[in-house]
Amino acid sequence: MMITPVHRFRDIERTPEYLQPEKCVPPPSLASPGTMWFIRDGCGIACAVVTWMLVFYADFVVLLVMLVPSRDYVYSVINGTLFNTLAFLALASHFRAMLTDPGAVPKGNATKEFIESLQLKPGQVVYKCPKCCSIKPDRAHHCSVCKRCIRKMDHHCPWVNNCVGENNQKYFVLFTMYIALISLHALIMVGFHFLYCFEEDWTKCSSFSPPTTVILLILLCFEALLFLIFTSVMFGTQVHSICTDETGIEQLKKEERRWAKKTKWMNMKAVFGHPFSIAWLSPFATPDQGKADPYQYVV
């Protein structure tokens, strides 16, 4: 079998001499265990702020340009309630995805004492990350932005300013789903509003002037279409990744499967919790995922 660069890198990782535990010293603890998880990355913070601003812009156009001036109060109340509920759930999911520890491996734990505490069997080897000096579990990968090894890391997403990993994948999936839903809802309402304005006097279909109304609606239409496509693709990719129990990095690197294969239903329950309930759709419900011991360094 041809040995790819990935396999060669894995062989280096599996070499016991490569661990060099005497060179690893645990970094000083600068924060308490209960400190909130937050990545101080300028690009990620800017993307997260832009995400919230775009949602607020969409809400502004939907409410003040389309629904408030409408004469049909039932239509306005129903659509306004639905849109704002979905927008709230989208932002709440974004908030949880951004501020939840995605599954970071303790930094600097590749010490001689810690390796001895694992009580490895003869011939058993472990992975060591030379960048954050940590002994990492199987399926963990190092993120250069978070500067940590993340368990079951799928990818680093600047839009949530965080990695998508074992602990926050549910919130990221909900975020993409709710953004796709409000984008679709906004597109439908823009289409109906344009038809309404063409049939009625443009000065009566909005509180703004006709040119301003057209510009605001076109911008909303462009934003909604762009994010509908983007988040729908991301949602489908994430669901497929969960069902196959294979992260984006593992698919990209074509890593050999070294973990037990489970059914799609079991994989979904591992991310969203069990049993199936309305809590699957709630960004406030923390799933009881029944994770394996994060210190299982079996190879």
Residue positions annotated with a catalytic role: 157
For residue 274, CA distances in Å to 53, 151, 164, 238, 279 come to 34, 21, 20, 19, 9
Which tokens is 33 given? 């265990």
Round the CA-based radius of gyration of the chain to a whole number and report it.
24
CB 129 within 8 A of CB 104: no
Helices first, then strands: H and E counts in the chain: 8, 6
Distance CA 283, CA 299 (A): 34
For residue 28, CA distances in Å to 24, 35, 94, 111, 144 come to 12, 15, 31, 14, 20
Name the pairing type of β-strands 162-164 and 148-151.
unpaired
Q: Which residues pair with 148 in a beta bridge?
A: 143
| 3-class secondary-structure state, position 187 | helix
Written as one letter, the residue type at 72 is: D
